Chain A
Amino acid sequence: MTDITASSLPVAAPPARRDIGLKKRYAAEARFRMYGIAAITFGLVFLAIMLGTIISKGHTAFWQTTVTLPVTFDPTLIDPQNKRESDPSVLIKANYDKLAQQALISKLGIDAKSKPEVAKLKGFLSDSARIQLRDMLVANPALMGQTVTVPILASANIDSAFKGQVDLTVPEARRKVKDQQITWMNQLAAEGTLAEKFNTGLFTYGASSRPETSGVGVAIVGSLYMMAIVLVLALLVGVAASIYLEEFAAKNRLTDLIEVNINNLAAVPSIVFGLLGLAVFINFLGMPRSAAIVGGITLSLMTLPTIIIATRAALAAVPPSIRQAALGLGASKMQMVFHHVLPLAMPGILTGTIIGLARALGETAPLLLIGMVAFVANYPATPFDPATALPVQIYMWANEAERAFVERMSGAIIILLVFLMAMNLTAIVLRRKFERRW
């Protein structure tokens, strides 16, 4: 036996590590991670740019340049022939533009006889001054002969210029605001007569051909009518349908058909619902065009699948032990559902409903088809009157050429987004507050 000594063995070189390309693989790993971060950054940056441009364009819409003028209701201008006692229509037809102009002339201290000077005043104040002064006098005829301090809207061009949105380096002939008007504007601003005030008109006016007197008030009312209709119809029908499918339906062909239908309706393009509304509600059933009732029903059908899917998930989350306990104490199946399961599922149902409502509030396409893209200047008194909706109003302003309408449009988008944000926050709070883990 010979001892094998270590020295007798050939000295093995330490095994070289096989090149398995670790470096490359780690580089690939790092790259892959970067792709993921880049993808998320892309989405977030786009979101930030989009919201940023809309807010930067729209925040000025909440302020409106207003000129506060002492207006004299001069009887010789309003009623030169002094027959307002016998003919009240004189008060309606009078030349109120002249009154506002007179007030502006005396305020600026320009020569009333200088025709070119006076001509340059045209387009300084909003045309709405006429209606404003007329309504004041008709409501209170005692104002005749008195001098009242009235805040009058500046025209859209002066408004833009005062907000610094007009490029003054452009030759005077090619812009709508003349140099003389700018001088007057600065003069009045220095006196404090002309100033930016919070734009309440944006929330109260309806559609108008003048940017300074157009607002989303009428559109918001139309949207609220539709939301109320969607809330009632879609919530009632949706909850009823979900209860049937989740608690009562037998597993058969009909149930399968209904389920497939609901899933498909959730993915049908919204414009198809508009075609349905036009053909069935307006053309076949003869409901009024561009009314909130038709829009509300159409949006309800569109929202129904969302609410059904959310409600079924909420019902299914209620544990079976609750049902068994109720049945064990002698409740009927209907009592079990309505007294025990439904109240426990309510937070989930409400969350789903609010999210569905938020989708319906921002929906535009189906409303275009049922004629809600109409020039509606008056508040709809009932859901059967012509109405428009907030997103449709935004769409109509998008088709206007004037700079001032873009500002209004961006302001309206901010209002819409605030509404949506509030609804989604409510949904989140509801979920946090009432959610129960079983």
Chain B
Amino acid sequence: MSGLTAFLFVLVVGLIAFFAGAARARALDDGKIKAHSRPQYHGAWAMLLAVLPALGFLIVWSFGSGAYLNKQIDERVIAQTSEKSAVSDTLVRSLADGIKRLDAPANTNPPATMSELMPLLAGKGVTLAPDTQDYMIPIALDANSMASRFGWLGGLGALALAVLGALYGIRQVAVRERARHKVERVMLGTLFSASTIAILTTVGIVLSMLFQTIAFFSEVSPWSFFFGTVWDPRFAAAGSGGSQGQFGLIPLLAGTLYIALVALLVAVPVGLMSAVYMAEYASRNVRSIVKPALELLAGIPTIVYGIFALVTLGPWLRDISAVLAGGSPFIQAQSILTAGLVMGVMLIPVVSSLSDDIITAVPQAMRDGSLGLGATRSETIRRVILPAALPGIVGAILLTASRAIGETMIVVLAAGVAANLTANPFEAMTTITVKIVNQLTGDLEFNSPQTLVAFALGITLFFVTLVMNIAALAIVRKYREQYE
């Protein structure tokens, strides 16, 4: 019995418990004493008693039996080869999966050698690693029979628990039984655990990247990672004689910050000025048309921006520069300028919507005071509103900068892959996010430093943006409180 069928059976028992419990509660009503809880709460409590323990058992059982099975396979493999090898264990498991898919006689009694078994498996669309050995076949068979035995045991156990729970729940139905309180307590627990998912996600992000990063730092020293100026993660397969590549963060970090700077130089003035105009000058009609149009910019996926930069803007800038220089172009098709410009446009709505909130939060009395003293509108904005809004705007810029640093698709398509260290904005540079994508796409073994470095880059990115976000949120919150 597979886990899914057991799960479905448990659910069926739960439903029966619900209706039986509710029916019994309804039968209690003799018109004299009112029951504490309405019938559906009695039903729901019976259902919870039936389903929850059974599901808990099923989950624990499947993890436990899986771990036991792996240990058994491991021991048998060691007995055969007298060495511990995680690879062989994986091979046995995929072999066992493959045998399970074969047709009736062969799935319990397959041929004894791999050379006979391979074509059978290939006919079912299963391809195995070539170093799967003959001795693994009996182990895989035993594993399969053990797994099916465990499946049955677990399924029957869960079913028995469900029936017991249902019976107990139905028996408990009584006039004074506080079924509603119990059901609501379970609901509250569910709501609470849902809200902890946010914490779990953060913990998951930090832990998952931390373990890989520690593994990476055991092979490459943190010093050469954080302060190295050369990025050259050579792959051992490229015939470099097994010598390790260099994983210097500096060129990537420089590229990330440079592109983010160009993007901010575009986004902050444009976004801020459009927010000021919208908030202080624009008439209601203009606002109602232009604001959604600018917000469209925020709704377009970043891949579309990236493709626009790659296919249209980059080549166009290159051609323009070729005309200007009269011959060879001085702007490359993939350049800091292209990536920064397009990213800047993407960030305009971010800056403008954040600063719009902040500008409208400045009290009207301050505007009226300044205008009453004879200042023009632009003087009011520049000398009163913007200084008053400054902390909030700084927070908004920080949030925007963190978006710019973490942006991926635009730079993957438009910034280039070569890890240069250059100050020329017309050349290509690469970023942390580009390298994370580069190192993790394609077929790589999971334990080489070439792959693990992506996690070290990721955790760096995570902490840089985390610090910026926390600072920005703190500044914005403090600013809001000032005027509330």
- Closest residue of chain B to A242 (Cβ to Cβ) is B195
Q: How far is the CB of B74 from chain A (nearest CB, A)?
A: 16
B310 interface residue per 8 A CB criterion = yes
A43, A369, A391, A406: the one contacting B274 at CB < 8 Å is A43
- Nearest B residue to A305 via CB reads B198
Q: Which residues of A contact B462 (CB under 8 A)?
A: 268-269, 272
Identify which of residues 364-402 in chain A touch chain B, using a CB-to-CB cut-off of 8 Å: 364-365, 368-369, 371, 373, 391, 394-395, 398
Q: Does B80 contact A (CB under 8 A)?
A: no
**A40-B274, A258-B199 in contact; A413/B304 too (CB < 8 A)?**
yes
Chain B window 17-30, contacts with chain A (Cβ cutoff 8 Å), 1 for yes, 0 for no: 00000000000000
Q: Does B180 contact A (CB under 8 A)?
A: yes
In the complex, the answer to whether B195 meets A241 with C-beta atoms within 8 Å is yes
Question: How far apart are A275's CB and chain B's nearest CB, in angstroms?
Answer: 4
In the complex, A80 Cα to B168 Cα: how many Å?
76
Q: Which of A28, A373, A398 contacts B376 (CB 8 A)?
A: A28
Contact with A along B170-196 (1 / 0, CB 8 A): 000000000010001001101110111
B166 interfacial by beta-carbon distance below 8 Å? no
- B273 contact set on A, CB distance < 8 A: 35-36, 38-40
A334-B184, A362-B300 given. 18 additional CB < 8 A pairs?
A: A36-B273, A40-B277, A43-B297, A43-B349, A237-B197, A241-B191, A241-B194, A249-B195, A257-B199, A264-B470, A268-B469, A272-B209, A275-B436, A334-B188, A364-B409, A368-B440, A391-B301, A394-B307
User: Can you show 14 pairs from A to B with CB atoms below 8 A apart?
Assistant: A32-B378, A36-B277, A39-B269, A39-B272, A40-B290, A43-B270, A54-B304, A240-B194, A240-B195, A269-B462, A269-B465, A271-B437, A275-B455, A279-B455
Given A33-B281, A40-B290: A332 touches B209 (CB 8 Å cut-off): no
* CA of A417 to CA of B308, assembled, Å: 14
Q: Does A363 contact B (CB under 8 A)?
A: yes
Q: CA–CA, A334 to B189, complex, Å?
A: 12
Task: From A50, A270, A278, give the contact of B408 (CB < 8 A).
Answer: A270
Which residues of B are interface residues toward A (Cβ below 8 A)?
180, 184, 187-188, 190-192, 194-199, 201-202, 204-205, 208-209, 211-212, 269-274, 276-278, 281, 290, 293-294, 296-297, 299-308, 310-312, 345, 348-349, 376-379, 381-382, 399, 402-403, 405-409, 412-413, 433, 436-437, 440-441, 446, 454-455, 458, 461-462, 465-466, 469-470, 473
Could you say which residues of chain A place their CB within 8 Å of the CB of B349? 43
Is A301 close to B, CB under 8 A?
A: yes
A residues near B278, Cβ cutoff 8 Å: 40
Chain A count of residues within 8 A CB distance of the other chain: 82
B458 adjacent to A271 (CB under 8 Å): yes
Cβ-defined contact, A268 with B409, below 8 A:
no
> Footprint of B on A, CB under 8 Å?
25-26, 28-29, 31-33, 35-40, 42-44, 46-47, 50, 53-54, 57, 236-238, 240-241, 243-245, 248-249, 257-258, 260-265, 267-273, 275-276, 278-280, 283-284, 301, 304-305, 308, 332-334, 358, 361-365, 368-369, 371, 373, 391, 394-395, 398, 406, 409, 413, 416-417, 420, 424
A10 to B367 alpha-carbon distance, docked (Å):
44
> How far does the Cβ of A232 sit from chain B's closest Cβ, in whole Å?
13
A362 near B301 with CB under 8 A, answer yes
For residue A333, give the distance in angstroms from its CB to the closest CB of chain B. 8
Contact present for B381 and A32 (CB under 8 Å): yes
What's the count of A-B pairs with C-beta under 8 Å? 239
Interface centre among A46, A241, A273, A373 (most CB of B within 10 A): A46
- Which B residues lie within 8 Å of A47 (CB)? 293-294, 296-297
Pair B274/A268 contact, Cβ less than 8 Å: no
Q: With A262-B198, A276-B201, A358-B299 known to touch, is A36 a contact of B274 (CB < 8 Å)?
A: yes
- Residues of chain B contacted by A283 (CB below 8 angstroms): 446
Q: Is the interface of A mostly helix, strand, loop or mixed?
A: helix
**Contact A258 B294, beta carbon cutoff 8 Å:** no
For residue A308, give the distance in angstroms from its CB to the closest CB of chain B: 7
| Residue contact B304 to A258, C-beta cutoff 8 Å | no
Report chain A residues within 8 Å CB of B190: 240
Residues in B with CB closer than 8 Å to A398 are: 306-307, 310-311, 413
Across the A-B interface, give the 3 residue pairs with the lowest CB-CB distance, nearest first.
A269-B406, A362-B301, A36-B277
Chain A CB within 10 Å, residue with most, of B192, B297, B349 = B192
Q: Which residues of B contact A406 (CB under 8 A)?
A: 311
CB B301 to nearest CB in A, in angstroms, measures: 3
Contact between chains at A275 and B201 (CB < 8 Å) = no
Instruction: Say whether A275 contacts B208, CB under 8 Å.
Output: yes
Q: How far is the CB of A412 from chain B (nearest CB, A)?
A: 10
A36-B277, A275-B454 as given contacts; A304 in contact with B270, CB under 8 Å = no
Residues of A within 8 A of B187 (CB): 334
